[in-house]
Amino acid sequence: MLLIDINVYIDKFKNQLKVTLWKMTKDKLSEQFLSVFEENTGIIIKISRAFTHTSHDREDLINDIALELWKSFEKFKGDSKISTWIYRVALNTAINYKRKKKNDSLFSFLNDFRKEEITPWLVEQEESDESEVLYQCIDELNEINKAIVLLYLDGNSHAEISEIMGISKTNVATRIGRIKEQLKNLAITKI
């Protein structure tokens, strides 16, 4: 009878230990995630800005990206740079978000009439006219070209863009050349 009591106690202790270790692991994981998220906020804002038109949609997309990053954070193996992984998750999330929002686009302009307090890091510095024209032109690109040009403008190499987008380096170089020409032609019509 004493043996059974000890085994029950040991099992109970093991379960408590597992819960404690799991909580410690989750706390550490949360801290790591928040640190990585804060260090790469610029990537997320840039992508959300390119794929949305209103501040409300931008905030929704940022939340969706944060959720997807959190859900897959434990699965990140470190085979690539953390920024590469963030770009991949963020771009896929943005493309899916844009597809879902196509049906709601008729009413999206109403969201701008509600001016709520926005998290300070969502508010960007005043933009120059050139920057605004560039974002307008980028907005007219298809999702793949939009993603490629954002990666290019952020200073990623052709190899990094290739890895993030899952296309060859040659294809990246060709697309960038064509995208530059397309952006130039679009900018001329807007200036």
- Flag whether 112 is in a domain: no
pLDDT of residue 12: 53
Specify the pTM: 0.63
CATH number for the domain including 155? 1.10.10.10
| Cβ neighbours of residue 186 closer than 8 Å, sequence gap 6 or more | 136, 137, 140
- Flag whether 180 is in a domain: yes
Instruction: Read off the pLDDT of residues 9-62 as tens digits, 9 standing for 90 and up.
Output: 455 545 554 544 445 556 777 888 888 888 998 899 899 888 988 888 888 999
- Flag whether 98 is in a domain: no
CB 47 within 8 A of CB 165: no
The CA distance from 26 to 48, in Å, is: 28
**pLDDT > 90: percent of the chain:** 31
Helix (H, G, I), strand (E, B) or coil at 155: coil
Tokens 């679009």 found at: 186
- Flag whether 105 is in a domain: no
CB 187 within 8 A of CB 134: yes
Instruction: Read off the pLDDT of residues 139-179 as tens digits, 9 standing for 90 and up.
Output: 899 989 999 999 998 889 999 999 999 999 999 999 999 99
Instruction: Read off the pLDDT of residues 92-134 as tens digits, 9 standing for 90 and up.
Output: 999 989 888 764 543 444 344 333 444 444 444 445 677 788 8
CB 89 within 8 A of CB 109: no
The CA distance from 151 to 87, in Å, is: 8
Tokens 């690539």 found at: 80
Q: How many distinct structural domains can be found in the chain? A: 1
Burial class (CB in 10 A: 0-12, 13-18, 19+), 49: buried
